[in-house]
Structure 1
Amino acid sequence: MERFTVDYRIIAPSADEAGARAAAIALEDTVEIPRDVVPAGYVEDVILGRVETVAPEAETAGCWRARISYHVDAVGREFAQLLNVVLGNASILRGVRAMAITPDPALRERFPGAGFGAEGLRRLTGRAQGGHVCPVIKPQGSSVETLARLCYLTARAGADIVKEDHGLANQDAAPFRERVSRCAEAVARANAERAAAGETGRALYFANIAGHGDQLRDLALHAKAAGAHGLLLIPGLYGFSALHALSRDPEIGLPIMAHPSHLGPYVLSPDTGYAHGLLFGTLMRLAGADITVFPNHGGRFGFSVAECEEIVAACRAADGPGRAILPSPGGGMSLDRLGEMRRHYGDDCVYLLGGSLLRYGERIGEAIREMRDALDARPETVSG
């Protein structure tokens, strides 16, 4: 019988206690009833989570790794219920952290992942190789005219992806529908000028989808009709189910960039929540994100090198769910760090720069060209 597995890190004083906690996870995340009243047959044999292994972590005393298998019938076909099985009630237990998911064929079939992925984004931008330059259009409070002007200047200078800041929602200063229409128009004008100049690449405009939960699909369709080439969504606010629904909607059919806002509490404790690679890598792939944004090490938010590497590995793993997706490190990055970042993350990456670009003002196009030069330089000549 095919079953997918989830690996957990369990804090426990003994092997017996670790085994008992693993058994509790298997119950809580599926049937949620005492073990002695689990009905025999289908419920016990298929639906109930099954503890496969429990072993000590070699490097940490009092820590254990448990592997629990689940049948896709416990999940059904909704992404929210997948999360409920992976770390539902178990998220309320102390000392339990979900570390990895190994999908089986049935889970892969129901949740096929990104519609475009890393290769699809290259086709859309026309950039056959090299890292993707991605300026962030901000700040909140700017007028529609100011934001559209930034979109034009960065796109015209050679940006691959022009991404709205996640703080641009539907505020009075720049209402969603007007802002998206004007910004899409600005990027389209820049792309037309690039094509006339003989360039083969183009900028993709990603609009931030932010509204009431029942409005997301309508807002995404408006963005597409206005000329947006992709969507930015915050799964920590709107749910991974919203990300999954938008990614699978054939009427939308746009790549999606997932933003990490509001997800910090899920990863910051080493003893609870999710491992960095699982949340920002594997789950984003399963839910259908094409690009996943996360805080780079050395920036404002304090992710470690190892945690960032874990995320990138999960994005690119050949045996991961669906297409490989693009990691996108950001969070207080600057031009002088691009060389270091390029050496660390390579070419299959979306490089974000936001606030630091605003120092250039009307000369922001020069910063975009500097980004491109830094990402295209021969490795031995890159500084930083």
Structure 2
Amino acid sequence: MTRFTVTYRLRAATRAEAVARAEGIALEQTVEIPRDVVPPGPVEDEILGRVEEIGALADGVWQAVISYSPDSAGAEFTQFLNVVFGNSSIQTGIRVTGITPGAEMAARMPGPRFGIAGIRALCGRATGGMIAPVLKPMGLTPEDFARLAAGCVRGGADIVKEDHGLAGQPAAPFRARVEAVCRAMEAVRAETGRRALYFPNLSGRPEEIEDNLRFLKEAGADGVLVMPGLFGFGLVHRIAGDAALGLPVMTHPSFLGPYVLAPDNGIDHGVLFGTIQRLAGSDISVFPNVGGRFGFTAADCGQIAAACRAPGGPGKPMLPSPGGGMSVARAAEMQAMYGEDVVYLLGGSLLRDPARIDEAVAAMRAALDRG
């Protein structure tokens, strides 16, 4: 059975300390007992993590590659992540910089159901960057959001995405909002022939999630926005794997910031917003854009985009979706940075004149088309 590997960057003063830290991770992520009490046989031979490689990266910085048995993860995506970086995530000076699932885990986690090609086919945008205006702010009524969505479709949006802050607030409860937006978008699509997709933000108490998923599908939504930092990557995996539901998934980075922001701890940007998202089955990964208000660098964003679209997997290539600081003025700069296979999120810059949001979306489309 092909083992999967995880690459870690470690802080250690000496090679001996780095080896000891790597061996400690191998124990911590699997058997979680002292090495001298690991049972001989299958537990020691297969389940126990194996340190495959140790190498120096810089003074006091080391790279360790550790392999794990697929049997340590089983068929649960959450347990797979638990093996990748469970207890070790609580320790200092350890950062996940790579995950290679191997043939067995790749078969258990086939990745995005739609991917880049599937999303393009659904929205009818064969080439070029895609535009995803964001419905916001909270406090508006369902009718307000419906008017904004209709304007976005008229302007040439490819995806109409709800803001991650829209949940079950009294002003626009989840179901009333979804129904209103679906009706408005369907009417404008029939009128214009456009095929813009609607991704409502999945919300509700835990016991309501399955019913809300079925509801948004039956109401006419074309996809779903999920916050794995709050709902869990296991939910993304469950939605992506449901052929009967058949909904593409867009994932939002809310609550995930602490995983990437400390340079010596957590998870590399490309691994969290690219590799793990693909393994979970997301089709579109939203992340903070360079030049916005969140502090991601051009290198961070480039790493994410590369991991989302790497042709070697895992699973189908997915769409990176930078958000924050997007505008017509930056269209050429962003297109040069990200290329064509990208979904640009447009938020506050479109909402200065909500009644003319169609013109703002059309201006962005024209700017992207000009290159």
The bucket for the TM-score relative to the shorter chain is over 0.9
- Paired amino acid for 2:28: E
Equivalent-residue separation in structure 2 for 1:320 and 1:29 (angstroms): 24
C-alpha contact (below 8 Å) 1:30/1:85 kept by paired residues: yes
C-alpha contact (below 8 Å) 1:156/1:193 kept by paired residues: no
> Out of 100, 103, 118, which is 1:102 matched to?
100
Equivalent-residue separation in structure 1 for 2:212 and 2:328 (angstroms): 33
C-alpha contact (below 8 Å) 1:72/1:106 kept by paired residues: yes
TM-score by length of 1: 0.95
Matched, 1:223 2:216: yes
Matches within 5 A, 1:5-154: 5-57=5-57, 60-154=58-152
- Paired amino acid for 1:312: A
Q: Which string of whole-angstrom CA distances, capped at 9 and with x for unpartnered residues, describes residues 20-49 of structure 1? A: 000000000000011111111111111110
> Out of 296, 301, 311, which is 1:308 matched to?
301
Instruction: Determine the structure 2 residue equivalent to 1:236.
Output: 229
Equivalent-residue separation in structure 1 for 2:298 and 2:155 (angstroms): 31
Note the residue ranges of structure 2 that are not aligned, 5 or more in a row: none
Note the residue ranges of structure 1 that are not aligned, 5 or more in a row: 196-200, 380-384
Aligned residues between the structures: 371
Provide the identity percentage: 57
TM-score by length of 2: 0.98
C-alpha contact (below 8 Å) 2:327/2:364 kept by paired residues: no
Equivalent-residue separation in structure 2 for 1:129 and 1:165 (angstroms): 25
Equivalent-residue separation in structure 2 for 1:79 and 1:37 (angstroms): 28
- Paired amino acid for 1:192: A
Instruction: Determine the structure 2 residue equivalent to 1:189.
Output: 187
Instruction: Determine the structure 1 residue equivalent to 2:164.
Output: 166
C-alpha contact (below 8 Å) 1:132/1:351 kept by paired residues: yes
Equivalent-residue separation in structure 2 for 1:335 and 1:217 (angstroms): 39
Equivalent-residue separation in structure 2 for 1:85 and 1:72 (angstroms): 10
Equivalent-residue separation in structure 2 for 1:10 and 1:356 (angstroms): 41
Equivalent-residue separation in structure 2 for 1:283 and 1:361 (angstroms): 36
Q: Which string of whole-angstrom CA distances, capped at 9 and with x for unpartnered residues, describes residues 213-254 of structure 1? A: 232221111011000001001000000011111111223110
Give the secondary-structure state (helix, strand or coil) at the position aligned to 1:208.
Answer: coil
> Out of 337, 346, 361, which is 1:344 matched to?
337
Instruction: Determine the structure 2 residue equivalent to 1:365.
Output: 358
Equivalent-residue separation in structure 2 for 1:122 and 1:133 (angstroms): 12
Instruction: Determine the structure 2 residue equivalent to 1:203.
Output: 196
- Paired amino acid for 1:152: A
Give the Å deviation of 1:361. Answer: 2.2
Equivalent-residue separation in structure 2 for 1:273 and 1:320 (angstroms): 22
Instruction: Determine the structure 2 residue equivalent to 1:198.
Output: none
Q: Which string of whole-angstrom CA distances, capped at 9 and with x for unpartnered residues, describes residues 132-173 of structure 1? A: 111000001111111110000101221100000000000000
Q: Which string of whole-angstrom CA distances, capped at 9 and with x for unpartnered residues, describes residues 292-344 of structure 1? A: 00001111000011111110110011112100000000023222111111111
Equivalent-residue separation in structure 1 for 2:330 and 2:6 (angstroms): 36
More displaced stretch, 113-122 vs 247-256: 247-256
Give the secondary-structure state (helix, strand or coil) at the position aligned to 2:294.
Answer: coil
More displaced stretch, 212-221 vs 337-346: 212-221
- Paired amino acid for 1:177: R
Question: RMSD across aligned C-alpha pairs, in angstroms?
Answer: 0.9
Give the secondary-structure state (helix, strand or coil) at the position aligned to 2:352.
Answer: helix
Equivalent-residue separation in structure 2 for 1:312 and 1:361 (angstroms): 31
Equivalent-residue separation in structure 1 for 2:293 and 2:327 (angstroms): 12
- Paired amino acid for 2:5: T
Matched, 1:262 2:255: yes
Matched, 1:353 2:346: yes
Q: Which contiguous aligned blocks of 4+ residues in structure 1 show a shift greater than 3 angstroms?
A: none
Equivalent-residue separation in structure 2 for 1:279 and 1:218 (angstroms): 28
Equivalent-residue separation in structure 1 for 2:362 and 2:328 (angstroms): 11
Matched, 1:212 2:205: yes
Equivalent-residue separation in structure 1 for 2:24 and 2:91 (angstroms): 9
Give the Å deviation of 1:86. Answer: 0.2
Equivalent-residue separation in structure 1 for 2:288 and 2:62 (angstroms): 28
- Paired amino acid for 1:234: M
C-alpha contact (below 8 Å) 1:6/1:98 kept by paired residues: yes
Give the Å deviation of 1:360. Answer: 2.5
- Paired amino acid for 2:72: A
- Paired amino acid for 1:45: D
